Amino acid sequence: MAATNPSFNATLDDSTKHTFVVEHMDPELESWQLLEYQTIGSECAAANSRFLLTGLPKAVPELALVEQSPQSVDDLVSSANIPKERVCLLDPRGESDLAPEDGDKFDVFVFGGILGDDPPRDRTAELRVKGFKGRRLGKEQLTTDTAARVTRIVVQDKIPLADVPYIDRPSIQVSAAESVEMPFKYVKGKDGKAIMPEGMIELLGDDADKGILDLL
Ligand code: SAM
């Protein structure tokens, strides 16, 4: 299957502006996560940044446009001789909040490929032990694509974290009769709506019977 994706086994040593790495950590790859990863990939491409999905045992054909590697992010960092201090882990328990100047301090931003859980189980801890510098995006857990979006806004658009506009727990109309309240906050787009992965409203509609927390 790896042969279907020419970028499987990608390395970390040919970075563009910044490289965004998501280390997939869940046992399965849920439809929800596919949409999140696709979204991170297309937003990074539009921002002239690189997106690499690591830690997958085999290439995912649905993500053919996303660079993927079976290696873990720390193996890639050491094989590319990237100094650890140039790598930032986005971590709800990080040592300080992310700031615009972190865009110059770090080349690589690492995120846990973990679906949100309530209450949060701090699975980002598995990445914390790798010794990268940690940065917070506020106290509340964000979805992985929101975390990547906010990081780009802060380190590339140079907007301080406190000025990033959010919509808290938006209510999404999934059918004529039904709406679902999302259990997270989302960046507010130029159209005034919460930015979510393309296809997510349809997915919510398909799974409306399950309840949102069963999906995350
Ligand atoms: N419940 C998860 C946990 O226990 O760690 C949170 C997972 S969150 C959905 C996925 C990833 O987004 C995290 O691993 C982290 O890299 C990033 N992230 C989410 N919220 C964050 C925050 N407030 N500060 C820093 N990073 C965050």
Are 113 and 8 in contact by the 8 Å Cβ rule? The answer is: no
Strand pairing category for 171-173 and 179-181: antiparallel
| Distance from C-alpha of 196 to C-alpha of 187, rounded to nearest angstrom | 8
**Whose CA is closest to atom 10 on ligand 1?**
144
**This prediction's pTM:** 0.91
146 lines ligand 1 (CB under 6 A): no
ipTM: 0.98
How far is the centre of ligand 1, averaged over its atoms, from the C-alpha of 185 (Å)? 12
Q: What one-character DSSP code corresponds to residue 162?
A: G
Cβ–Cβ < 8 Å for 161, 150: yes
Sorted by sequence, the CB contacts under 8 Å of residue 42 that are 6+ apart come out as: 65
- Beta carbon of 121 within 6 Å of any ligand 1 atom: yes
Q: Identify the CA nearest to 86 among candidates 101, 111, 106.
A: 106
pLDDT 10s per residue in the chain (216 long)?
334 454 666 777 665 679 999 999 998 898 989 999 999 999 999 999 999 999 998 899 999 889 999 999 999 999 988 999 999 999 999 999 999 999 999 999 999 999 888 888 999 999 999 999 999 999 999 999 999 999 999 999 999 999 999 999 999 888 888 888 999 999 999 999 999 999 988 888 876 555 555 545
